[in-house]
Amino acid sequence: MTRITFEEDELIVIAMFEEKTRQETIKGIEEILPYIKGDTELEEVVIGTVEKLKRMPDKEFARLDLEAYQQEPEDE
């Protein structure tokens, strides 16, 4: 089976919406699609990320190291 690889921008999307399971993460990412309509580049990244996540086994998702891609909360 081919290992699924993600581009840096895809890993950032996953890190932003990461949940406990792959399915919950996919659902969270899909929920933003209506809000990014018209931004073709962002839509392509998000849709591509979701498609890759759907093909990825749960065990492989659990091994993703997203720490470097997680954003620090902004100070107000």
Buried b (16+ CB within 10 A) or exposed e, 60-75: ebeebeeeebeeeeee
Check residue 76 and give its pLDDT: 58
User: Got the DSSP string for 64-76?
Assistant: ---GGGPPPPPP-
pLDDT in tens, the chain (76 residues): 578 999 999 999 999 999 999 999 999 999 999 999 999 999 999 999 999 999 999 999 999 999 999 877 666 5
The distance of Cα 33 from the centroid of its chain, to the nearest Å, equals 12
